[in-house]
Amino acid sequence: MMEGKIDRDRLKFLFQMSPGVFWLVFFFVIPILLILTYSFYQFSDGVMQKAFTMENYIRAVTQHLYFKIFTKSLWYGVAVTSLCLLIGYPCAYFLARTKYKRKELLFLALIVPFWTSIVVRTYAWKVLLGTNGLINHFLFEFGIIELPIRFLYTEKAVFIGLIHVFLPFMILPLYASIEKIEQHLEEAAQDLGANRVKTFLRVNLPLSLPGISTGCLLVFILTVGSYITPDLLGGPSEIMISNVIQKEYYVSFNWPFGSSLAMLLLFIILALIMFYNRIFKLEKITGA
């Protein structure tokens, strides 16, 4: 009788898990395997040929152009993640500690951008940052500038767009982590003589590391794989690796080389995630 109950529980568990497993296998595992397979095919005379070759990976690794674009994409990931953390931590702390009765309004202001397409939000920045955009218009009207400032198609424009898009992904995990920190711990630290800076460094920061690690990981991965924002705000001079992959697929139709670039990006991100997780696990074990 007990074995029959266990079998029913197993069947129920498998039945509940099957939709999620099917979704992951069909829309994630199979596409990744296809891309991995294509990355070893040859591309000759505009046609993909089913012949094994390592030429695509050798080209991606040895040519300086692609190394530079990979480096720039990782640089954007690190810089945007750092800036989102610096901006997002005070915002998350304020949300977690505010006494404002209508707290849901603050969350609504944070979540509203998710209701709008990333394309629309990025085009809004084009309107603001353009040579004849609102920012240059106001600067000219107040006599601050005499000639329009070039904001669009620069590194600054890409940074602004990426931070605006991905900042909520940093604030939400931080808020969830900070809210769990008992406020009396901060009060106890201050009663024992610690000032606000020491209280933050000795209490808030260590206890909010789970939120920091989750937020940084989310923002970094999303930034490195970003396509729309650098394409619309950065232009040809500020392309990232995702833009190159898209052009290899839909402009050059060189699917094998585009697949090799995609797999290299995936391998690099996975390696960085493993390294990142190892650091935080070590810090957790040592109590840092």
Superfamily of domain 65-286 in CATH is MetI-like (1.10.3720.10)
Over the chain, what is the mean pLDDT? 87
* 120, 159, 207, 272, 273 from 167: Cα distances, Å: 17, 11, 21, 21, 20
Q: 73 Cβ partners below 8 Å, 6+ apart? A: 224, 240, 241, 242, 265
What's the maximum distance between 2 C-alpha atoms anywhere in the chain? 86
Task: Tell me the average pLDDT across 38-54.
Answer: 90
Name the band, by pLDDT with cuts 50, 70 and 90, for residue 237.
Answer: confident
Beta bridge partners of 253: none
What's the pLDDT at 281?
Answer: 66
Kindly list the domain boundaries of the chain, sorted by start residue.
65-286
Q: Is the whole model's pTM more than 0.85, yes or no? A: yes
Cα 121 from chain centroid?
16
Residue tagged 């931590």 (tokens): 89
Name the band, by pLDDT with cuts 50, 70 and 90, for residue 175.
Answer: very high
Is the pLDDT at 247 greater than 50? The verdict is yes
- Given a contact cutoff of 8 angstroms between Cβ atoms, the answer to whether 233 and 126 are in contact is yes
